Amino acid sequence: MKVLVTGAWGMLANDLAPVLSERGYEVFAPPEDMLDVTHLDTVRGVVDSYEPEMIVNCAAYTKVDEAEKEEHQALMVNGFGVQNLCLVCQERDIPLVHFSTDYVFDGTKEGPYTIDDEPNPLGAYGCSKLLGEKYMLGLLSKFYLIRTSWLFGHHGRNFIETMLELGQRQKKISVVADQRGCPTWTRHLAEAVVALIQTGRYGIYHITNSEPATWFDFAQEIFRLSRMDIELVPITSDQFPTPARRPLNSVLAPFPLPQLLGREMPSWREALQEYLQQRNAVKRAGV
Ligand SMILES: NC(=O)c1ccc[n+]([C@@H]2O[C@H](COP(=O)([O-])OP(=O)(O)OC[C@H]3O[C@@H](n4cnc5c(N)ncnc54)[C@H](OP(=O)(O)O)[C@@H]3O)[C@@H](O)[C@H]2O)c1
């Protein structure tokens, strides 16, 4: 099956495209300058010439704090860009795989957010992602709308790299300990996404590594596994103000993915361990 992947240079696309190829899909992943999702004519042109049987949208505006000032740009990519892809998928009667975020929720719920909980984003990024969700639900019947959270991967800036860099420079680091979510490795997400699309069961899904954590828990495990002796200080979100407010609880409930695939996602601790092993192997090899 021919699959068009957008946002090819992003963190998730860099893991998803190879997993699709490994599973026998024929992947075309053009860079943003060839496929800007905010231009309907460009999207149509690429789809007309490549004739994919499915589109996987990894293109996104993902700068959560900058979005507060660049709301228009975030809406263009995460809202209207998704609308463009939906229109083209509708015209060709092909499915769209699209990613959304835990930040569509306000974080006031006690327990994990389920796929039928009502979104209520706190910031401009979450609002723009919610607009994309709305276009998808309104325009398409053949779709996989996948919410995920707290991504880390080898091909992008992420919390692990930020912590390890900080750990080289300081012995004491303050980390937010009152936000709960599910850290997720893009490689595990990519494998689950490909397994999901092989089922043909369209719908809304939550895909994250299992078990919740705070940023503090995550940092603790990063330094423990990296054998770095860092004094971590737990702080509240109020003590670490950012332009965009983040939900205090954005843990996503996995139902119905485990029932469908017959397995749970690996825990974020296992994911982190494997990520660090791969990272260190690459560093040792000097690649
Ligand atoms: N990262 C997370 O923690 C996280 C958490 C929850 C959900 N998600 C969602 O997961 C998906 C993948 O995220 P990611 O972390 O892989 O994001 P990413 O690394 O920022 O990748 C997104 C890619 O899309 C590109 N892009 C931006 N505007 C575009 C346009 N108009 N047309 C085509 N490409 C465009 C970006 O290019 P530039 O870099 O040049 O802008 C970037 O290469 C997104 O939908 C995101 O909202 C991410």
Confidence of residue 46 (pLDDT cuts 50, 70, 90): very high
Report helix, strand and coil shares of the chain as percent, to nearest 5. 45, 20, 35
Residue 154, classified by CB atoms within 10 Å of its CB into exposed (0-12), middle (13-18) or buried (19+), is middle
Q: How many independent structural domains does the chain possess?
A: 1
Q: What is the mean pLDDT of the chain?
A: 96
Q: Report CA(121)–ligand 1 centroid distance (Å).
A: 18
* 89/206 Cα distance (integer angstroms): 22
Report the CATH number that the domain containing residue 131 is assigned in CATH: 3.40.50.720
> Ligand 1 test: best mutation among 4, 32, 33, 62, most atoms within 8 Å of CB?
62
Please give the pLDDT value at position 144: 98
Q: Name, in order, each residue with C-beta under 8 angstroms of 235's C-beta and a sequence gap of 6 or more.
A: 174, 175, 176, 177
Which residues pair with residue 26 across a beta bridge?
2
73 in a structural domain: yes
**Does 229 map to a domain?**
no
Give the range of the structural domain holding residue 154, as residue numbers without chain letter: 2-158+182-211+250-266
Q: Confidence band (pLDDT; 50, 70, 90) for 154? A: very high
Top mutation candidate among 12, 70, 161 for ligand 1, by most atoms within 8 Å of CB: 12
The predicted model gives 192-201 an average pLDDT of 97
Annotation marks residue 205 as catalytic: no
Instruction: Kindly report whether the global pTM for this prediction surpasses the value 0.75.
Output: yes
Tell me if 41 is assigned to some domain. Answer: yes
In this prediction, residue 285 carries a pLDDT of 78
Is residue 148 over pLDDT 90? yes
Q: What angle separates helix 40-50 from helix 81-92, to the nearest 10 degrees? A: 40
Residue 239 lies in a domain: no
Catalytic residue among 113, 125, 135, 275: 125
Each residue's pLDDT tens digit, 56-70: 999 999 999 999 999
Note the pLDDT tens digit of each residue in 214-253: 999 999 999 999 999 999 999 999 999 999 999 999 999 9
Residues with CB under 6 Å of ligand 1 are 6-7, 9-12, 32, 35-38, 58-62, 77, 81, 99, 101, 129, 148-151, 156
Q: How confident is the model at residue 287 (pLDDT cuts 50, 70, 90)?
A: low
3-state secondary structure of 128: helix
Query: Could you tell me if residue 125 is left (phi over 0), alpha (psi between -120 and 50 degrees) or otherwise beta?
Result: alpha
Residue 8 lies in a domain: yes
Burial (Cβ within 10 Å: 0-12, 13-18, ≥19) of residue 147: buried
Structure tokens at 167: 């750990």
**Is residue 34 in a domain?**
yes
How many CA atoms lie within 13 Å of 97's alpha carbon, on the beta-carbon side? 30
- Give the mean model confidence (pLDDT) for residues 119-138: 98
DSSP string, 225-268: HTT---EEEEE-GGGS--SS---SB-PBP-TTHHHHHTSPPPBH
How far away, in angstroms, is 124 Cα from ligand 1 center? Answer: 15
Q: Which of 14, 15, 32 to mutate to test the pocket of ligand 1 (most atoms within 8 A of CB)?
A: 32
For residue 77, the ligand 1 atom closest to its alpha carbon is: 31
Q: What whole-number distance in Å separates Cα of residue 35 and Cα of residue 75?
A: 17
Atom of ligand 1 nearest to the CA of 59: 24
pLDDT at 188 over 70: yes
CA distance 10 to 59: 7
195 inside domain: yes
Q: Residue 245 falls within a domain, yes or no?
A: no
For ligand 1, atom 13, the nearest C-alpha belongs to 12
Q: Which two tokens stand for residue 275?
A: 């990520």
Element (DSSP H or E) covering residue 71? helix 71-75
